[in-house]
Amino acid sequence: MWLYFYYLNIIYVMNYRLFVILLIVLSHFTINIYSQPILLKTGWKFSKGDDMRWAATDIDDSKWQNIEVSRTWEEQGNDKYDGFGWYRVKFDMPSNIKEKSYLKDSLKFILGKIDDHDEVYLNGQLIGKNAGKNFPIGNNDNTARFTAYNIPRKYVISALHPAIKWNGSNVLAVRVYDQLGGGGMTEGECSVSMVDIIDVITLDIKSTPYRITPNNNWNKPIRLIVNSGNMTFAGIFAVEVKDIESTKTLFNVSVNANFNTQKSFVYEANIPAIENAIVSYTFAHDLSGNNISESSELPYLLTPVETDSPKINGAKIYGTRIGKPFLYKIPASGNKPMKYKVQNLPEGLILDENTGIITGIAKKQGTYKTMVTASNANGTMTREFTISIGNDIALTPPMGWNSWNCWGLAVSDEKVRSSAKAFIDKGLIDYGWAYVNIDDGWEDKRDANGNIKPNEKFPDMKALGDYLHSNGLKFGIYSSPGPKTCGGYEGSYKYEQNDANTYAQWGIDYLKYDWCAYSDIAPDAAKAFSWTNYRLSDANKKYLPDLKKPYQVMQKCLAVINRDIVYSLCQYGWGDVWTWGHETNGNLWRTTGDIEDTWSSLYRIGFSQHELYPYAKPGRWNDPDMLIVGMVGWGPNLHPTRLTISEQYTHISLWAMLSAPLLIGCDMAQLDDFTLNLLKNSEVIDINQDIAAKQAQRVFKNNNYEIYVKTLNDGGKAIAIFNVSTITQNISIKWQDYSISGYKTIRDVWRQKDMGTFGTGYDAKIPAHGCRLLKVY
Ligand code: GAL
């Protein structure tokens, strides 16, 4: 783990006449290779400290710590250790790996992820490096900032490199520097192998998404690219769809594929949209007999096609504080143009009948039951909608977008606007998605009056806010109570009121306030908690006042400005924040460390929230972090989420059940058909936005599946069955085991279809990591 980013560069290291290239691999293949890699998963030795002699082959490391390379060094007895550490491993390098390989020129070292920077030595010689020019600390070039800790390390050297001892014993030494938080070699995927055709050819199935065609096929362009050298390849390219369970082939097609460095092979597959199927794309190389293959779950759409007639979506309540500027856009799907009407609008508020945007200032406290109507050429819909004028805001979990999971520190005005535009153009705004939040990376220095200035990527914050507001969207921003943010930018420490005032001027509606370098101000408290050790205990409870203080300071500053600002506490759950976050007027609080787009991260975070259900209330939400669907990447380079299709249904269903804030983390401008369908399901959103605000309870768990039940305002219950195992499960549940009784109907929420009468139980066949989301009523 890490808290600060520094300034890193990928560099090229010249070594004799041979060059060493560092490659960053963002995609991963399921590959058939004939020359097997030498696995370096075990046998590693570790020492804290730094001594360049440790690069050499013949030093005695027998007394060093035995260490795993799949977990941080903190997790292995080196608690809170930051700074240098060395890893060493011995391995034999049989020359037959070269003989068995089709290409024989280069050798590659895969080292998983390293937190934060590293230099790699083979038998004493530097063969690769991922760090700034002045290892360990980078240079000061802002454009070169990125998160090295999260980059899979792959170093390639020539097979003739003098450091290699073919048919002999070799020593790989990795010099690591960790800045803060967890450190070391953390992914475990370490190996040495020949660079073979799989490294030279890219089977690109990721850069163009699946598109649904009018006759319900997936259209999917695939490319085979020669990415280095001057080579030509010929073979067969095949697409095959198999049933997940029976492995029966349901569809296949194969074509000749010829391509070279100049001309890639492009194939547009048309694949039937089948549920519970695996699709594989394979290139079989004629000359070597090698295959390159990638397979994944075939996408399937569950949300029904939107109706032409108006449908009013989203939360059935909206709250504002008395006397604060009001902004709410009625979310209604269906053909545009649309006309809107509201009966019983509180005094001081006005509706724009053409946009459905309500503005003004309501001065009289009260709970106003309004009737909202949306009509178009195809029909009309009227629905009750409550406007609460009082002291409370965020009465349902905030829904919107945040820049972090896609753009990281590379966020810019242009990127924010393009995501906001997609909210409008792709109709997400019609489902209640409203907040457009800039995370870290917008800040510059303070002026002579102590007012923060946005950096060159944000030419005019007020204009950006006006643009969002004029479209009925809300505007969110990020800061830290510390002197610096997690990205190393200016924090709010000692300038809290200046910042609150600036936010008011810019028209900010949401503040994410991230602890980060407040650790420098409260070092003892910071030592008592970490991302893995965040629970309150007898030993650390004396630091509670220190944890609360920075949030109370900003609370006071926000209270005196003339805006409703949703206050989002980000301090990774330290000190059981869910028990006291509301005391600081917090509307939501992160309950964990940062999420990543993997099942293990989703599982670890999402399925550990069940105990927090008593703390979710209107205006007080547990925040298990932002969504990881669509194109993500923590900037500047994005990739499609690594979650499978079923995992994504689980992700959205679980967050809906948990009453979690729904902040989309992907680049909205690149939203594909599947992700859009996933995010526009009004009934799934209704579960999340239910005004009873009751977070689901976990009622059952074993190693294969978990059941969550959420009590809804209409008296019904939402029930989610999650298959957390790696195979399809037939799951049979009896309602009486969970004290669920007295209902008439079962509804499949994703498909928005009644499934029949309630009966005594329910049988479901659920794919690996997938779920079934039901409503009984
Ligand atoms: C982390 C925070 C992330 C993101 C990042 C920005 O501490 O948990 O969500 O805001 O800082 O630097």
C-alpha R_g of the chain: 27
Cβ atoms < 10 Å from Cβ of 91: 15
Pocket probe mutation, ligand 1, options 440, 531, 577, 597, max atoms within 8 Å of Cβ: 440
Euclidean distance between CA atoms 715 and 707, whole angstroms: 19
Name the residue among 460, 411, 457 with its Cα closest to residue 436. 411
Residue 553 near residue 560, CB atoms below 8 Å:
no
- Edge-first strand listing for the sheet containing 357-361: 325-329, 357-361, 349-352
The pLDDT, as a whole number, for residue 150 is 72
> Pocket of ligand 1, candidates 486, 626, 663: which has the most ligand atoms within 8 Å of its Cβ, to mutate?
486
Nearest atom in ligand 1 to 570's CA: 8
Note whether 156 and 108 are within 8 A (CB).
yes
Q: What is the pLDDT of residues 189-230, one digit of tens each?
A: 899 999 988 889 999 998 899 999 998 999 999 999 998 878
Q: Is the pTM of this model over 0.85?
A: yes
- The three-point CA angle 277-279-282 to 5° equals 155
Ligand 1 centroid to Cα of residue 155, in Å, is 29
CA dihedral (639, 642, 644, 646) in degrees, to 10, reads: -100
Q: What local confidence, expressed as pLDDT, does residue 197 receive?
A: 85
Q: Residue 561's CB: how many other CB atoms inside 10 A?
A: 17
pLDDT for residue 76? 93
What are the catalytic residues? 514, 594
Does the CB atom of residue 596 touch ligand 1 within 6 A? no
Q: Which of 592, 594, 663 to mutate to test the pocket of ligand 1 (most atoms within 8 A of CB)?
A: 594
pLDDT at 134 (0 to 100): 66
Rounded alpha-carbon distances, angstroms, from residue 121 to 57, 409, 533, 705, 775 = 10, 31, 34, 45, 58
Report the run of H or E that residue 445 belongs to, with start and end.
strand 443-446
Atom of ligand 1 nearest to the CA of 594: 8
Strand (E) or helix (H) holding 366? strand 366-376
Taking CA atoms only, the protein residue closest to ligand 1 atom 11 is 486
pLDDT at residue 137, rounded to an integer:
59
Question: What are the tens digits of pLDDT across the range 362-413?
Answer: 989 999 999 999 999 999 999 999 999 999 999 999 999 999 999 999 999 9
173, two tokens: 């030494």
Give 3-state DSSP helix, strand, coil % of the chain, rounded to 5. Answer: 20, 35, 45
Atom number of ligand 1 nearest to Cα 5: 12
Residues making up the chain, counted from first to last:
777
How far apart CA 294 and CA 280 sit, in angstroms, is 6
Any atom of ligand 1 within 6 Å of the Cβ of 570: yes
Residue-wise pLDDT for 122-164, tens only, equals 999 999 998 766 676 543 333 333 457 778 899 999 999 999 9
Residue numbers in the chain where pLDDT is lower than 50:
1-33, 138-146
47 burial (CB, 10 Å; 0-12 / 13-18 / 19+) is: middle
Contacts for 68 with CB less than 8 Å, ≥ 6 apart: 42, 44, 76, 188
| Neighbour tally for 562: CB within 10 Å | 10
